[in-house]
Amino acid sequence: MTMRPLPRFIAAITLLLAPATIPALAQEPSGLQAASALESVLVDAIAKSERSVVAVARIRDSDGALDNEPRAKDATQPDVVPDDFGSGVVIDAKGLILTNYHVLGDLKNSTYYVWVQRKPYRAKVRAADPWLDLAVLSIEASDLTPLGFGNANDLKKGQIVIALGNPYAIARDGQPSASYGIVANLLRPAPRPKEAAERGEGRETLHHYGNLIQTDCKLELGSSGGALINLKGEMIGLTTSLAALSGYERTGGFAIPVDDSFRRAVESLKAGKLPEYGFLGVEPQILEAQERRQGRHGARIRHVAAATPAAKAGIQEGDVITHVNARAVSDEIDLMRHLGGLPPGETVAITLQRGASETRPGRTLKIKVQLSKKQIASLRPGFAEVVDPAWRGMKVEYATASPAFRDQSPLLDAEGCVAVVEVARDSPAWKAGMRPGEFISHVGTTRVTTPRQFYQLVETQTGPVAIRLTAVGLDKAERTIGQSETPLEVPTQPDAES
């Protein structure tokens, strides 16, 4: 008895999946042959990647039992049940693990453990970034297998993908569980809190502006921090159970794409540093419905903040930004997504229409803008092992990254300045009257607009250094900071919220 021939289009798809792994088949292979070929591709991809996907667990460092008995701390013991579980991905052979920040919970009151192929390790947090919801843990291991990165920019709807992780903690021993499906959609937004009533509310990560991969792979609680891989065994996304965490009845399958922003952030986190993100300084709004029905796209600028890159470049209220670096902007959310992953200091090409209305498109202008730094607004403060530099007891930042910028921007020097964000008590800077929330426009007679410029100017100074402030009265603008007798460091603190 002969088997029913497989339809031609299914056979063609099968041959495209991994031609090198499929033996020579008849022109119309049988259904069993095609299924076996696809099965072989899936098995090989999982085998190539699973050693790099781990289990992550958290124990809260507090007495949580109702009988007030202290918790057991060593989660490597089989009879100890951790409070929370998640997944992770090996990104360095010497013990660096990538996961979602939200998997870690409260950094100050938690102890973390990682299981790699049944081997348990105590873990510590190296750095955690709230804007991309990424964190890197370190464990004392030197023989791990890092997972190779693919390129999420090449993804198409319908591609077959595999999710590896620790759903419901069933892979607690570090032997990851697998599910497979397709890429259901691209550039999807993370679920927002149900209490967010307006379009712009509840957006505390870049993912709320729509950069996620959507997949129909099952991603239950505990899958966050796992790997979404392609059929070559390359990681093209870091899985996240955002829909389940937001209280939705059915979990949505999402993954953070492995793109340029992701790679840059991971490199900073591996080094124990917080990634930095660019800031333009505009408040955009969606085009009118009539304009959108006419096929127009872009984001209309409702407000331009003073002393920002947008203001300095001449962007005006009413302008419609249509492209960023030659990439079309569909609406105001899309504009924020385009800009949100770029680094500060990067020069971007912006195309805009000025004088546009419902009846006319306006004239097209092309300008270049150098981005400043975004202050991250998040319920979870950023964390990094590497302490930012301090000079004579004072730390400075991009002006736009200061918590005081929003209120002070109309008063600041429009040509640029840096912000004082921390001052150690009794340091030379403190004795000179410097306080957090002030802004420095000059070191001596030289203008400073970035922290790097400031530190390069002052690091070679050995005697008193004159600085000039902006947004203060003339009688308080000139300060002289003396030389410290002993080295002073500013205490490490989480990133300020914006």
Q: pLDDT tens digit string along 171-224?
A: 888 899 999 999 999 999 887 655 444 544 557 889 989 999 999 998 888 899
Helix (H) or strand (E) holding 261: helix 260-270
Identical fold for domains 1-60+83-194+204-275 and 279-373, yes or no, is no
Is 133 tagged catalytic? yes
Which of residues 353 and 79 earns the better pLDDT score? 353
Domain 387-481 -> CATH class: mainly beta
Q: Which of 52, 84, 87, 133 is catalytic?
A: 133
Domain edges within the chain: 1-60+83-194+204-275, 279-373, 387-481
Helices vs. strands in the chain: H and E counts, helices first: 12, 27
Q: pLDDT tens digit string along 78-114?
A: 667 778 899 999 999 999 999 999 999 999 999 999 9
Is 495 tagged catalytic? no
Which is the CATH superfamily of the domain at 279-373? PDZ domain (2.30.42.10)
Q: pLDDT tens digit string along 150-162?
A: 999 999 999 999 9
Q: pLDDT tens digit string along 313-344?
A: 999 999 999 999 999 999 999 999 999 999 99
- Residue at 470: amino acid letter: T
Q: Which of 49, 84, 87, 102 is catalytic?
A: 102
Q: Model-level pTM?
A: 0.85
Q: How far apart are CA 182 and CA 332, in angstroms?
A: 29
Segment 414-420 mean pLDDT? 95
**pLDDT computed for residue 422 by the predictor:** 95
Is 297 tagged catalytic? no
Q: For residue 357, what pLDDT band results from cuts at 50, 70 and 90?
A: confident
Q: Which of 138, 224, 268, 409 is catalytic?
A: 224
Among 255, 248, 243, 251, which Cα is nearest to 186's? 255
CB 327 within 8 A of CB 341: no
Q: What is the CATH number of domain 1-60+83-194+204-275?
A: 2.40.10.120
CB 75 within 8 A of CB 259: no
